Structure 1
Amino acid sequence: MDLLEDKATGALAGAAVGDALGGAAEGNTPEAIQERYDGFITGIVGPFLPDWQTARPIAPYHKGDGHVTDDTLMTNALVDVYATVRDHLDAYSVADHLVPLLIGDKRWIPELESEALLLHRIFLAEKWLVARLHYGHIDPREAGVGNIVNCGATMYVAPIGIVNAGAPEAAYAEAIDVAGAHQSSYGREAAGVYAAAVAAAMRPGTTPSQVVDVALGLAKDGTRDAIDAVANAAASVTDWRGGLATLRAAVEPFDTVGPHYRAPARDARIPSRTKSIEELPIALGMLLAADGDYSESVLGAVNYGRDSDSIAVMAGSIAGALSGLAGVPRHWIEDINTGSRMDITASGPTMATVAREVWAKDQARVEARRDTLEALGAAPVPSGRN
């Protein structure tokens, strides 16, 4: 396994591990999590509610026990789109390739413990893709307008960061285009920034603080302000176990959901230039507080609660890209492979292969443009020529 494949696999397996660990805690406060599990979660645990089949509001999903959630299912579906298109994606790629997978491809759904269409597992904010693009025939570039503004378009775009490894600006632009089919406002913005953070983390030798600097350099409006506030707060956190409330307080002014995650505020998840999704800033804050350590970044995200699976996906993918596959505990990977009945390391090599093909096409496009610029007399004169 070369370095590209190693980092790509670390990013995607790292995201899946975070997803599976965080699923059990989703929607709960740190205090409730610690009461339920007799302390902090330190690995794979069972469902928060043992009667998960009839419990509300998460029924009938079997979260916990090493089961990945819709975050990983959507990420894998996007990998499959890349494997089909084998080039950069845009909003039309979502309409032409991702939506058909959601409504026509049966897969094993760990939380349902059965084979089913992806459509039967994804949340309403993702079902929006089907309603708008398949049934509504909306222009894919505008289809995200009107959807609730949440992390739905952000949680699965790590593959965009991989295919644009080392080029955060390009990852940002591609993710903003792709996410236009799904989200608007700060939900779309977060997707671009997250993809850029993964692209930065793929660069060898990058540090967590450099990843956050890239995010701050690209983020706009409330997303940037939220990341900045959480990053500043994380500077005083040496151990997430004592810093969960500090990070929550830093992001709270930008979060529309409010203090009760399962009872959102009336103005929750509507477009705004001053607000941000909670998940990405907190994920970056955990990355800083843990100094990039994979396990600590993910466990901090898991024990934060609220949308813990998506926070852990984002923290895990960035930390996994920084460390490579070796940073992701092998026993977690093996247990999640078993629990979810899938190989969570399989998507990394696929994305590495696709990335190489896309880079070759990018190089051909650059050379074609250079030839045009030279013909126009606009190309830079190479060093040593008069």
Structure 2
Amino acid sequence: MNPNSPLFDKVLGCLLGGVIGDAMGTPTEKLSYDEIQQRFGWVQTFSGDGTDDSILKHILCETLERTGGHATADTWAEDWLRHSQTFLESKLFFVPVVATFWKLRGEQVLPRDAGAGNMASSSSAMCISPMGIVNAGNPRQAALETFEVASLVHHNFCRDGACAMAAAVAQAFAPGADVESVLRAASDFLPERSAGAMRAALQSTLAMARESAGYEDFRARYCSAAIDGRQHFTDSRETVPLALALVWLADGNAQKAVEYGANFGRDADTIASMAGAVAGAMGGARALPQAWLDTLGPQADKQRALADRMTQLVRARAEAARAAVLMVLETSA
């Protein structure tokens, strides 16, 4: 592990931002921002180490490690079944995840088909940041590979939301990446027609953020309007655009992005987790408050060890791609 490596720092920032956002948003989930203010004031601390968002993310990391960074719906499904006890015992998992698990375990549905018919949710997007990590700097490839992997949970616009998040994370690793390039990557690699619902949600939510006079104004305006008639707060047409809008409002600052998500209410843990993953990848772990790492305790060391292994995967994939390109160039000279 090289703690001074910029790549390692960004991988660690992405992982820590996701876990901390998940944990900080847990107490405020399903609340309105007024209820949050009355109960907690401004939320900026946390306890624990996350919910189902983080559990599924860590299982995906296991799959990526096992496959050399090339996960598929099949290989991710294998690790779901390997962790059957977790799915059987935990009460954290939402309906689409439970449905997928029982399709795999009880009905032997093919993994690529398991997401068909599952209800809309953020269950694929909320845990997908590792797909952006292993495709660091290549958002197009991140979106393409995520479309395959996320089919385990969703076959609708929610899968497009996962592709958007993975692409945003991948772009955050690119040299010279800024908030605007990350936001563009989230939609640029979604097909205009097939992913029209997610592209429209991204456009409308980000437009509202840009028109607002800051975070509090945006939060009030968003929560007072039922955009496109949506009422379900776990709909990824809400959570994915919101997470990216908060990254924009925070100007890429991971601490602000996480706190904005936790104090937004609604699906706060997922929103804060996704915003933290994107902004954490942009700014790296060095940009996170030391007090947050101290609060994580032993979990922080686990995340550092995981970041080291994920960094090795990024480098291995990059070296393999470089070798392949050089071979093609040499043989065609």
CA distance in 2, matches of 1:16, 1:118: 21
In 1: Cα distance, 2:135 partner to 2:122 partner: 21
Name the SS of the counterpart of 1:66 in structure 2: coil
Alignment CA distance shift 1:363-1:140 (3 Å): farther
Task: Give the greater-gyration-radius structure (CA).
Answer: 1
Counterparts of 1:247 and 1:143, CA distance in 2: 33
Tell whether 2:311 aligns with 1:330. Answer: no
Q: Does 1:99 align with 2:99?
A: no
Query: Given the alignment, which residue of 193, 215, 231 partners 2:206?
Result: 231
* Aligned-pair CA distance for 1:254: 4.0
Structure 1 partner of 2:189: 218
Select which of 299, 310, 314 maps to 1:355.
314
User: TM-score of the superposition, structure 2-length normalised?
Assistant: 0.90
Distance 1:168 1:329, change over 3 A: same
Task: Find out whether 1:305 has 2:265 as its counterpart.
Answer: yes
SS in 2 for 1:291: coil
Partner of 1:42: 44
Other-structure match for 2:174: 203
- Note closer, same or farther for the CA distance 1:92–1:282 as it changes in structure 2 (3 Å cut): same
Kept in 1, the 8 Å contact 2:243–2:261? The answer is yes
Deviation at 1:76, TM superposition (A): 1.2
Instruction: Out of 132-141 and 168-177, give the one that drifted further.
Output: 132-141
Query: Which of 152, 172, 190 lines up with 2:161 in the alignment?
Result: 190
Q: Distance in 1 between matches of 2:323 and 2:229?
A: 43
Between the aligned partners of 1:74 and 1:222, the Cα distance in structure 2 is 25
2: CA distance between counterparts of 1:297 and 1:86?
31
Q: 1:41 corresponds to which letter in structure 2?
A: V
Distance 2:158 2:295 in 1: 32
Query: In the TM superposition, what whole-angstrom CA distance separates every residue of 1:317-360 from its partner, at most 9, and x where no partner exists?
Result: 1100000111111211221236x697333322121111222223
Q: How far apart, CA to CA, are the structure 2 residues paired with 1:202 and 1:314? A: 15
Any unmatched runs of 5+ in structure 2?
none
Q: Secondary structure at the match of 1:155?
A: helix
Which residue does 2:70 correspond to in 1? 88
Instruction: Give distance in 2, aligned partners of 1:99 and 1:201.
Output: 28
Matched, 1:283 2:283: no
CA distance 1:187–1:135, change in 2 (3 Å): same
SS of equivalent residue, structure 2 residue 36? helix
Q: Is the 8 A contact 2:95 2:119 kept in 1?
A: no
Tell me which residue corresponds to 2:7.
4
> Structure 1 counterpart of 2:44, which letter?
T
Q: What SS does the aligned partner of 2:99 have?
A: helix
Query: Which residue in the other structure is 1:346 paired with?
Result: 305
Could you say if the C-alpha distance between residues 10 and 341 of structure 1 is closer, same or farther in structure 2, counting changes exceeding 3 Å?
closer
Query: Partners in 2 of 1:291 and 1:341 — Cα distance?
Result: 25
Q: Determine if contact 1:337/1:343 at 8 Å carries over to the other structure.
A: no
Per-residue deviation, 1:218: 2.2
On the 8 A contact 1:301/1:311 being kept in 2, the answer is: yes
SS in structure 2 at match of 1:344: helix
Structure 1: runs of 5+ lacking an equivalent: 45-64, 107-115, 270-275, 375-381
Pairwise CA RMSD of aligned residues?
Answer: 2.4
CA distance in structure 2 between the partners assigned to 1:118 and 1:186 by the alignment: 29
Partners of 1:101 and 1:366 in 2: CA distance: 36
What CA distance in whole angstroms lies between the structure 2 residues aligned with 1:142 and 1:192?
18
After TM superposition, the score normalised by the length of structure 1 is 0.78
Equivalent residue for 1:78, pick from 60, 65, 77 = 60
Instruction: Report the residue type matching 1:329 in the other structure.
Output: P
In structure 1, C-alpha distance between the alignment counterparts of 2:324 and 2:300, rounded to whole Å: 40
Structure (1/2) with the larger helix percentage: 2
Tell me if structure 2 keeps the 8 A contact 1:283–1:315: yes
Structure 1 residue 73 displacement after superposition:
1.4
Partner of 1:295: 255
Q: How many angstroms apart in 2 are the aligned matches of 1:350 and 1:152?
A: 24
The equivalent of 2:24 in structure 1 is 21
Counterpart of 1:59 in structure 2 is none
How many residues were matched structurally? 326
Shift of 1:255: 6.3
The one-character-per-residue Cα deviations of 1:249-270 (angstroms, maximum 9, x if unpaired) are: 57x4246334xx5xx9xxxx6x
How many Å separate the matches in 2 of 1:238 and 1:334? 34
Partners of 2:172 and 2:212 lie apart in 1 by 22
Name which structure has the greater RCO, CA cutoff 8 Å, separation 6+: 2
Q: Identity of aligned pairs, percent?
A: 29
